[in-house]
Amino acid sequence: MSKPKDSIAKTIGVAAALCIVCSIMVSMAAVMLKPLQVENQKLDIKKNLLAAAGLVKSGATKVEIEQAFANVKTILINLDQGQEDQSVDLATFDQVKAAKDATLGKLIDAKTDVAKIKRRERHSKVYLVGSNGQVELIVLPIYGKGLWSTMYGFIALAPDTKTVRGFSFYQHGETPGLGGEIDNKKWQASWIGKIALDGGNFGPIIRVLKGKVNSASPQAASQVDGLSGATLTSRGVEGMVRYWLGKDGFGPFLANFRQGGITL
């Protein structure tokens, strides 16, 4: 009688070999796709930055994004001094890592920390858009805690440094349909034209309400509708905007800009 071809050892051997082959293929795919993923992430950040500046539409192609981005001047500033700082390499500067670093970042005093981020970087990128030497838009990277996540976005300001010209998010983990409505283009558009800073002392006056803005209210120009069913995310958005436009955020830079210290 011939020996049976199947045996437990053979089955386990084949299953193990298959597992090894599959895991090698998955790992190789992950490693090979990583650069593409990183590139796509960077492209998405650029797209959102440009969307905040109103320079591209949501369906923009890679070529359109790169072309539009070529017209944006990126500078690196020292947040406390509000001045351009060329001692830090713009090409390798990583804002998120800098915030966590003992020397490149700093602790934020709890009373000041309305964005609930605990630490922030000492330097930041700022994006300038304009023509003929005139800055027409200042785009600032901002972030803060929502209900579930840190929300990362861009706010674009007019050269008066107080009028919002655009707002967008490129990363967050809020619930789709609730806090995730921060991605809603209509809601983002409702920020355009809002007066975020006081015309006198340039302190933040923008508010995200619980509910709708009463257009007859004298404060309506500095108020935005809250997201329904997402009061906590809405509060987070208000906190992040107020922190970054305030004196511990981009306040010194915006003051410097108003005094003519920043040019294209």
Residues that bind ligand FMN (CB under 6 A): 147-148, 174-175, 178-179, 228-233
Residue of 130, 181, 123, 183 whose CA lies nearest to 153 = 183
C-beta separation of 180 from 146 below 8 A:
no
Q: Output DSSP code: residue 113.
A: -
Nearer to ligand FMN, 187 or 202 (CB): 187
Least separation in angstroms between residue 149's CB and ligand FMN is 8
Alpha-carbon gap, residue 72 to 129, rounded angstroms:
5
Alpha-carbon gap, residue 144 to 77, rounded angstroms:
20
C-beta separation of 156 from 138 below 8 A:
yes
Least separation in angstroms between residue 263's CB and ligand FMN is 40
Least separation in angstroms between residue 173's CB and ligand FMN is 8
Position 235, amino acid: R
Nearer to ligand FMN, 178 or 220 (CB): 178
Alpha-carbon gap, residue 127 to 53, rounded angstroms:
10
Q: Output DSSP code: residue 2.
A: P
Nearer to ligand FMN, 105 or 236 (CB): 236
C-beta separation of 156 from 167 below 8 A:
yes
DSSP letter string over 162-205? SBEEEEEEEE--PPTTTGGGGG-HHHHHTTTT-B-B-TTT--B-
Least separation in angstroms between residue 256's CB and ligand FMN is 35
Least separation in angstroms between residue 142's CB and ligand FMN is 18
Nearer to ligand FMN, 153 or 251 (CB): 153
Nearer to ligand FMN, 72 or 232 (CB): 232
Nearer to ligand FMN, 181 or 248 (CB): 181
Alpha-carbon gap, residue 226 to 212, rounded angstroms:
7
C-beta separation of 142 from 49 below 8 A:
no
Nearer to ligand FMN, 229 or 261 (CB): 229
Closest residue (Cβ) to ligand FMN?
179
Least separation in angstroms between residue 177's CB and ligand FMN is 8
Least separation in angstroms between residue 213's CB and ligand FMN is 15
**Widest pairwise Cα distance in the chain:** 100
